[in-house]
Structure 1
């Protein structure tokens, strides 16, 4: 019975270790099945968006406006923060300087 050739372990065959190829693991199944699922979901979501009156252009424009408003809010906050620092420094720095002068004596 020893004349039968032993097969190497399955790990020696890339993609045949029971987990599938790297591409199949990455996309979550066979490419054809994933394509069909994505196509079906795209049609379903597109129909719902069409019923709501939303278009891809409006969605992208809304996303752009939201990001722009967040940036504007952030820069406005930084501007206000800078003004608070300057207003506080007008009071704090002279008091600190006077206290250092008196502490030096």
Structure 2
């Protein structure tokens, strides 16, 4: 069981715990220095997903506009071509 745990963690549990503590201290110090807190990250992620959601639906609305504008030209041309080819046969 110990070998499986070591293989999963990549090292012994004690060494992994020490590495995680050191990295956590460094990241915590850097975040505090720059004035970034975990709640800020959560709010940024929430805002990003909300903006992406709204922008995505806005883009879909534009696709619908392009479809209607193109259909105004394409459908009459298609009907005209079908009528002209129908008269030849």
TM-score w.r.t. length of structure 1:
0.75
- Give the Cα–Cα distance (whole angstroms) in 1 for the partners of residues 66 and 54 of structure 2: 18
Post-superposition offset of 1:62: 0.7
In the alignment, which of 30, 39, 53 is matched to residue 48 of structure 1? Answer: 30
Report the RMSD for the aligned CA atoms in angstroms: 1.5
Structure 2, unaligned stretches of length 5 or more? none
Q: Look up the match of 1:31.
A: 13
Q: Look up the match of 2:67.
A: 85
Query: Going by fraction, where is helix more abundant, 1 or 2?
Result: 2
Q: Any idea what SS the aligned residue of 1:21 has?
A: helix
Post-superposition offset of 1:81: 0.9
- Give the Cα–Cα distance (whole angstroms) in 1 for the partners of residues 77 and 38 of structure 2: 58
Structure 1 or 2, whichever has the larger Rg, is 1
- Give the Cα–Cα distance (whole angstroms) in 2 for the partners of residues 30 and 74 of structure 1: 46
The yes-or-no answer on 1:99 pairing with 2:89 is no
TM-score w.r.t. length of structure 2:
0.87
Structure 1, unaligned stretches of length 5 or more? 1-14
Post-superposition offset of 1:74: 1.7
* CA deviations over 1:52-98 (Å, ceiling 9, x no partner): 11111011101211122122222211110111011111110111011
In the alignment, which of 45, 67, 83 is matched to residue 63 of structure 1? Answer: 45
